[in-house]
Structure 1
Amino acid sequence: MVLKKMIPSVWETKRLTIKDLTEEEIPTAQKLYDQGSFIHQWDGGSLDKEYVYRCFTVGDLPPNGLNEQFKIQVIRMQETGLIVGLLTTYHGYPTPETFYINYLYIDKEYHKQGLGQEVVNELLDILKQTKYNEVRANVAIKNWAALRFWTKLGLNTIQGIFGDKEHGVDHYADIEVIKYL
């Protein structure tokens, strides 16, 4: 398999700088991940206290995935340098032409300011310059805000629905959405 071009180690939007995570940033990034753990009420998961460290050391990989195709990046406000978000991505899953957004979270103090949309729009522009032909994200069906977010950004083709077959309080399923580039 030929590895597609990786997204840059550092890139910017109008208000943000997105860069590869450093070891010193792991505790701050983990706090952001912990803050976003409310999503587990919709996906049936549990808080992973080692998520950021694991991503930094071995990655959050798909089946047969390679660490060198995974990225974990922090999102900083340009004006203050404050870390306000976390982005994890995989380059080339499930096909070499697919770019996968594993996780995107913006600090709750910065919600509703368009920062997530700013990150994804710039990321889509970067990806259009590569040979990727699609972008995917996986969202818990019960996470209505995230479904609205991704579909508004054009990830509005359903690739599949995975998880429990029946609806219920203790039943969970995810929807994989795609945007063709």
Structure 2
Amino acid sequence: MTIKMIPCQWETNRLTIKDMTEVEIQPVQELYEQGSYIHQWDGGSLDHGYAYRCFTDGDLPPGGTRAQYKIQVIRQKETGRLAGLLTTYNGYPTRETFYINYLYIDKSYHRQGLGQEVVRELIGIVKQTEYREVRANVAMKNWPALRFWTGQGLDIIQGIYGDREYGADKYADLELVKFL
């Protein structure tokens, strides 16, 4: 199987999703930093070079290649306003896996169904390929994200990673999967 990439540009009813360009690095970084509150749940820290690193090198899994990685911006069709960010990896941990690394919707658009719209269309695109599953990694303490992803059908736990015991300063992630 050849690794099939999602399109460079695609749409939903209200949104246009396309590969990020170099001029979008700063606004994407600001959007990423807006979502930095998730680090209270995943134990991570703010990456001040996240958007640049993703654009130039990618946010790659072990042994991953830049060619299989995408960072895409999500914009409102009507206004062109930046509404979110999506990063994906094609073919990890197996060639039949499509991995959603990161999805963030601008907080001013929360609870409007935009994330659901993006994921629904994305899964529809992925189903047209030879991928057999979609995966996403979610911090166990990130209850809103757990509700969101399980609501999108990523409701099978593929693995649990991180600290073995619960504690205020302990963190673990669930890898969720949806079989296609």
Aligned-residue sequence identity (percent) comes to 71
Shift, 1:3, TM fit: 3.3
| Number of residue pairs the alignment of both structures matches | 180
Summarize the alignment of residues 1-181 of structure 1 with structure 2, pairs less than 5 Å apart.
2-181=1-180
In 1, the alpha carbon distance for the partners of 2:51 and 2:92 equals 20
Answer whether contact 1:4 1:130 (CA < 8 A) is retained.
no
Structure 1: runs of 5 or more not aligned = none
Q: Secondary structure at the match of 1:79?
A: coil
Per the normalisation by structure 1, the TM-score is 0.99
In 2, the alpha carbon distance for the partners of 1:5 and 1:40 equals 32
CA RMSD of aligned residues (A): 0.5
Q: Secondary structure at the match of 1:137?
A: strand
In 2, the alpha carbon distance for the partners of 1:133 and 1:53 equals 31
Shift, 1:5, TM fit: 1.1
The superposition leaves residues 118-140 of structure 1 with CA deviations (integer Å, 9 ceiling, x where unpaired) of 00000000001000000000000
Per the normalisation by structure 2, the TM-score is 0.99
- Counterpart of 1:84, as a letter, is A
Shift, 1:4, TM fit: 1.9
In 2, the alpha carbon distance for the partners of 1:28 and 1:76 equals 12
Q: Secondary structure at the match of 1:26?
A: helix
- Counterpart of 2:134, as a letter, is V
Structure 2: runs of 5 or more not aligned = none
- Counterpart of 1:18, as a letter, is I
The superposition leaves residues 84-140 of structure 1 with CA deviations (integer Å, 9 ceiling, x where unpaired) of 100000000000000000000000000000000000000000001000000000000
The superposition leaves residues 8-62 of structure 1 with CA deviations (integer Å, 9 ceiling, x where unpaired) of 0000000000000000000000001000000000000000000110000000000
Runs of 4 or more above 6 Å deviation: none
In 1, the alpha carbon distance for the partners of 2:75 and 2:41 equals 27
